[in-house]
Amino acid sequence: MAMRPASSSRWLSRLWSRLLTRRGCLCISLLLLLRASLWRSSASRCLAAPPTWRALDGTLMRATTAPTTRTEPSFILLWSTDESQFRLVSKRALEAIFFHHPYASVRVFSNTLPLDFLSPLSAAGFRASVHRYNLSELLAETPAAAWISSTQPEAEEGPYYYSHLTDVLRLALLYKEGGVYLDSDVLLLRPFRLADVPTTHASLAPAAATAPMRNAIGIESYTGSSWSPFRNHVLNGAVLVFPPSSPFLWNAMDEFARTYNPKLWGWNGPELLTRVHARCGFGGDDEVQVHWRVRTQLALSTRFEAVDARVSALTSACKHTERRLDQS
């Protein structure tokens, strides 16, 4: 017999009142503890990063107990289409980096952009350059190398190949070099405070600033209802801040090669980062920071569609961004 609406509401009311009792709260707490213990137990499936690795220039690097430090920020960007697609938003993204970090190093890895594409920025005194990459050499000696021989030929025929290519490239580049990865349509609204670059936070009062970023990932979205105790976040690969030889990146490359699916866009990108973060519990200097505040530091390209189209040359580095910030 179907339950009447009135009796159904009374039943839900009684259930809710029971959940709010001491016994109900205890059951909910036990469920949450069980969920956390399952996550911790699955960490045994995570791999330890090797003690040595090769940087992009071929130098054999060795892990040290002390965190590495830099004198200036190092940014990595990727570009997989031709130069005609490098439009105003991407130019503004570069300008925004140098506006907030004028002494930063920005390397754009691309096999399609001319090597002198960023020469106007270099001529203006900024450290901006285009670099070529060899996919096989870049993924060599990483877990993602298996993807080259087993899946990559098939992946090239898939609808999301170039997105998936940049997914694995950012992992490998950050693993070998460390630094900050940004998507080319992300604009900084304020400077980063980076743990391995003391100059980015030495002048800021500790009480007025957030903790310096290290092993940091931003949140893209949430799954489940806002009131649910089982609500999860989906991480965003558009902003990644990691030191070299990160065990999180090592496991992410392993996950990429083992579970690659050419038919699903997010499976090999944001969802992959989310799976690895949920499974691997790293501690100490390797603990991964999930930053919901990252979204307050960034703006996606859709917010800058009305940027003055007359400012189209890279020689206008930082000028247009400076005007926008002065007016805000």
Q: Is residue 31 part of a domain?
A: no
Q: Is residue 220 part of a domain?
A: yes
Q: Is residue 138 part of a domain?
A: yes
Q: Is residue 131 part of a domain?
A: yes
Q: Is residue 45 part of a domain?
A: no
- Burial (CB < 10 A; 0-12, 13-18, 19+), residue 165, is middle
Q: Is residue 225 part of a domain?
A: yes
> Contacts for 63-69 with beta carbons within 8 Å, 24 or more apart?
63/245, 67/195, 67/196, 67/214, 67/243, 67/285, 68/178, 68/196, 68/243, 68/244, 69/196, 69/197, 69/198
| Residue that wins the pLDDT comparison between 143 and 52 | 143
d(Cα 289, Cα 240) in Å, to the nearest integer?
10
For position 100, which CATH number holds? 3.90.550
With a cut of 50, say whether residue 17 has pLDDT above it: yes
Check if the beta carbon of residue 237 is closer than 8 Å to that of residue 230. no
Question: Dihedral of CA 250/63/102/323: which sign?
Answer: positive
| DSSP label at residue 205 | -
Share in percent of the chain as helix, strand, coil (round to 5): 45, 15, 40
Average pLDDT of the chain?
A: 77
| Residue that wins the pLDDT comparison between 198 and 44 | 198
Note the pLDDT of residue 226. 53
Q: Is residue 228 part of a domain?
A: yes
Q: Is residue 174 part of a domain?
A: yes
Q: Tell me: the pLDDT tens digits for 205-224? A: 444 446 788 889 988 776 65
Number of domains in the chain: 1
Range of the domain at 316: 70-327
Which pTM value belongs to this model?
A: 0.75
